[in-house]
Amino acid sequence: MSKLLQVLVIGVIAGSIYGFIAMGMVLVYRTTGVLNVAHGGIGILSGYVAHELIHFRHQPYYEGVAGGVAVACLLGLLFELVVVRRLPGRPDLQTAATLGLYTLLLGVVVTVPWWTTNAFQVLPSPLLNKTFRVPGTPESVTYDQVVLIVALALFSAGLYWMLRRTRIGLAMRAVSDSSAAAGLMGIRPETVSRVLWIVGFGLSGLTTMLVAPITLLDANALSLLTLKALTVAFLGGLVSLPLTVAGGLILGTLEAFNDLYLVHLPDLKYAWPFILMVVALLWRAAEKRRSVRDDAPVVAAAA
């Protein structure tokens, strides 16, 4: 029983990381149709900027974090002005541009010699190394992990609410459906687009601030997490925030289950994202068949 609880604890922590990263990508995709592949790269750069401010320039932690997120927001503004404005109505090319941006940002990180000399850099949060024991398990949980889980719950609920209830959220959805119609309703598509890219990139920076104290501030590790987060985003159909968060938690739990119960099959851990995709596809195919079956009498009657 304690082992099962351990699986759940580890799974929820890992799943929160995947879910948080995927949430930012889903937000941008849902409102622009662009898959922001640079999401991880933006986070990596802002993480290193925060590390520079805190570790090398001895600024207070929260100022360093704010500086990192501000750099991410500034990048969002620049991307909107330089790329999105020049490629209007071309989500395919905008997606390709995020690929270029991802490579460019990784290149920027490598260019600063003292950023990548130490492979085991940690973003020194005030809660670093402070842990507590989960009752009934041998597992210790850090307070940074708790902050991440709470932040995931708050941000997913907040974004869900923002997109459905707030003026800016409704404007984002309106612009994503039809920019011209939204303009006729008095919404300024340019302003909405700018806000959206700033929020999307800022969320990416914030994600790294929350994730880096748990993992490490390492470009390769964070890139790998982003790739897994893409799978999680797929599980949510790239549009559903609740399903994305659920997908992250399921993937994290399955990986933890693999680590603790299937020790003789360690490589299976890497196949879970792919297996989950197959299951999601089969499930969606079954849903489609069911909906076609439900529609059949109506079609027959119409014919």
Partner 1 sequence: MSTTAEFQIQEPVVGDAGPTTRPGRMAPARPLAARGVGAFLLATFVLMGPKLFTWAGPPAAYDFGLTVAMLVVAVSVLAWIGEISLAVVAQMGLGMVALSWFQDHTSFPLAVSLVLVTLSSIPTSLILGVFCLRLRGVNFVIASLAFAGMTQKAFFQKVLGAATSLHGRVSRPAIVRSDGALYYLIVFSLIAVVAGLYLLQRSRVGTALASLRDSETAFWTLGYSPAAYKLFVVCLSGAIATLAGAYYGLLQGTVPSFYFNPGLAIVYFGFAVAGGMGSIGGAVGGGLFFGALPKYLEVLWPSIYNKFDFLFYGLVALLIIVWVPGGLAGVGRRFWHRVEGRP
List contacts with partner 1 (CB under 8 A). Answer: 29-30, 32-35, 37, 82-83, 86-87, 89-93, 95-97, 99-108, 110-111, 113, 175-179, 223-224, 227-228, 230-231, 233-234, 238-239, 267-268, 270-271, 273-274, 277, 281, 285
- What does DSSP assign to residue 131? E
User: Which lies closer to partner 1 via its Cβ, residue 45 or residue 149?
Assistant: 45
Residue 66 beta carbon to partner 1: minimum distance, rounded to whole angstroms: 26
Neighbours of 173 (CB within 10 A): 15
Nearest approach, Cβ of residue 275 and partner 1 (Å): 9
Instruction: Give min distance, CB of 98 to partner 1, in A.
Output: 9
Nearest-approach distance from CB 20 to partner 1, in angstroms: 18
* Residue 119 or 153 with smaller CB distance to partner 1: 119
Phi, psi of 240 (to 5 degrees): -95, 115
Q: Hey, how many other C-beta atoms are within 10 angstroms of the C-beta on 146?
A: 16
> Closest approach of Cβ 57 to partner 1, in Å?
22
CA distance 84 to 19: 26
- Report how far apart, in Å, the C-alpha atoms of 13 and of each of 20, 48, 82, 211, 255 are: 11, 23, 37, 10, 11
**For residue 109, what is the enclosing H or E element?**
helix 91-111
CA distance 161 to 241: 11
**Shortest distance (Å) from residue 290 CB to partner 1:** 16
Cβ proximity of 78 and 96 under 8 Å:
no
Of the pair 103, 140, the CB lying nearest partner 1 is at 103
Nearer to partner 1, 63 or 287 (CB): 287
Structure tokens belonging to residue 152: 């995931």
Pick between residue 4 and residue 224 the one whose CB is nearest to partner 1: 224
Distance CA 32, CA 177 (A): 9
Judged by beta carbon, residue 59 or residue 179, the one nearer partner 1 is 179
